[in-house]
Amino acid sequence: MIELEQVLPEEIERRSLEIITKELGDRTFPAGQEQVVKRVIHTTADFDYADSLIFSDGAVEKALEALREGCTIVTDTNMGKAGVNKKSLHKMGGEVLCFMADEDVAGKAKSDGTTRAAASMEKAAGLGRDCIFAVGNAPTALVRLYELIQEGRLRPKLIIGVPVGFVNVVQSKELILSLKDTPYIVARGRKGGSNVAAAVCNALIYQINREQ
């Protein structure tokens, strides 16, 4: 006999977070990071993120400040864009953008012999806005972000580096981890995904919601 819990829809998230907290046991995280770690575990059911999520010093605090000031979030997939809570983001004056389907990005990628993800990061660099970059799919996006920072053309408020896969995924994340003056949240190793990128964004947004 399979026994199912009787849980109302609005209680599912609360119960899930209770289970996550219980299974983490005595694990503790610095202020602000706990909500990010738990939100990612909630999204993936993967407790490895408790160890693999790497935060630069003050990354959460700097990201929250940027979001309060209406920072733009740029994603490398429309799936990631779809997963971000836009209603809550808009209340802070922010928006989420993805350029992957733009014709000019496709043309730029073709002429430069690169990927749309890399070209979309270059387009974002030309916005002249404060941006948080949420990369959940394309390591080439992280590589181009690294290059743009080294060239002095971009100063991200935060890089969420969580692409998933096998080819250049680990290496691209290590490039971001080597940055000294750029805030980042990186899922070290092969794991990640657009859902993880959106989960990190939402964890940050929800922290501000609780303040209001």
Which active-site residues does the annotation give? Answer: 42
Query: How many CB atoms neighbour CB 151 within 10 A?
Result: 9
Contact 49, 40 (CB under 8 A): yes
110 vs 113: CA distance, rounded Å = 5
200 vs 186: CA distance, rounded Å = 10
Contact 163, 138 (CB under 8 A): yes
Specify the DSSP element, H or E, that contains 133. strand 131-135
| Torsion angle in degrees (nearest 10) through CA of 144, 58, 163, 194 | -110
83 exposure class (CB count in 10 Å sphere: 0-12, 13-18, 19+) = buried
160 phi/psi in degrees, rounded to 5: -95, 105
Contact 193, 136 (CB under 8 A): yes
